[in-house]
Amino acid sequence: MRKIEELRISLFSDGADLPGILEMYSRPWVRGFTTNPTLMRKAGVRNYEAFARSLLRAIPDRPVSLEVFADDEEEMEMQALTVATWGANVNVKIPVTTRAGVVQSKLIRTLSEAGVAVNVTAILTLEQVEQVVEALAAETWAIVSIFAGRIADTGVDPIPLMAEAKRILRWRPRAQLLWASPREVLNIFQADDAGCDIITLPPEMLRRIELVGKDLKQYSLETVEMFHHDARTVGYEIDTSVVAQARSVSSLAGSSAQNHIHGLGEIPREVVGAGIGSVDNGPHA
């Protein structure tokens, strides 16, 4: 198993909880930060600009992606140019399409040619990747964010798509490929293998990185201990009197029961649940 230190990919923290963000900022291997209006709403942020500016004051030396939220192209451009003035480390997140599904090629081109470092977000198809790459200025730094986790949610393997997206980005060497919406720590290694430059992870997933390389036998033991501890802490009980009575009756009768379960002795079949294995799902193709 490779170590986190051996990865080429940069780890970004994705969230809007300021204490959690500052916790991740204290870890030098977290190379950047992203957020969006949905995360802000869930975190209880009421004033977008006040939160964004406080975030940039706290993190002046690593990339911070802040998203615009207008749907009108002209208003979105005004928002993007304004947000870009809030800090030299700002990457302005632009949704790849409007709510009507129109790809924002014109706006992306305008901002990129003006020197604004954009983070084009909510991408899920290679066609969108091609349209974005065509719109980006070759000399301006940019991020292309593909929501690999959402792709996987639809039953599609995102890894070949991410690898192909990296191939497409070769025409824009200053554009970095970002794996967004990860579902598990394993995605870090998958993203690295696919050639991604960045992966965003929520703080709770970043905290789990310490599990990388953990001995699985020890992890199994800790899991069993957790189940036992939690059951005892709550005071759960299982009434075993039915099984005890059935065992006693069977023993006194001296007869052979129909169903034998290792560790419980001989118990009449009517006392033991049939289990899922007995369900008849009908003929199989």
- pLDDT of 208 above 90: yes
Query: 114-143, pLDDT tens digit by residue?
Result: 999 999 999 999 999 999 999 999 999 999
pLDDT band at 258 (very low <50, low <70, confident <90, very high): very low
Continuous segment of H or E residues that includes residue 12: strand 10-14
Which sequence spans correspond to the domains of the chain?
A: 4-211, 241-271
What is the structure's pLDDT at 33? 98
Query: Quick one: CA torsion of 4, 37, 79, 166, rounded to 10 degrees?
Result: 30
Mean pLDDT of 255-274: 53
**pLDDT for position 248:** 82
User: What span, in angstroms and rounded, lies between the C-alpha atoms of 278 and 24?
Assistant: 50
Whole-prediction pTM value? 0.85
Considering the chain, what is the average pLDDT of its residues? 91
Please report, for residues 154, 259, 265, the alpha-carbon distance to residue 272 in angstroms, rounded to integers and kept in the order given: 39, 8, 12
**Residues in a beta bridge with 66:** 92
pLDDT in tens, 191-200: 999 999 999 9
How crowded is residue 264: how many other Cβ atoms within 10 Å of its Cβ? 15
- What whole-number percentage of the chain has pLDDT above 90? 80
**Which of residues 265 and 88 earns the better pLDDT score?**
88
Residue 257 binned pLDDT confidence (cut-offs 50, 70, 90):
very low
CATH architecture of 4-211: Alpha-Beta Barrel (3.20)
What are the b/e assignments for 17-36, b being 16+ CB within 10 Å? beebbeebbeeeebebbbbb
Give 32-77 pLDDT, tens digit per residue.
Answer: 999 999 999 999 999 999 999 999 999 999 999 999 999 999 999 9
Confidence of residue 278 (pLDDT cuts 50, 70, 90): low
CA-to-CA dists, residue 148 to 154, 172, 175, 222, angstroms = 10, 20, 17, 31
Which pair of structure tokens corresponds to residue 244? 């005890």
Q: Are 89 and 60 in contact (CB under 8 A)?
A: yes
d(CA 20, CA 40): 13
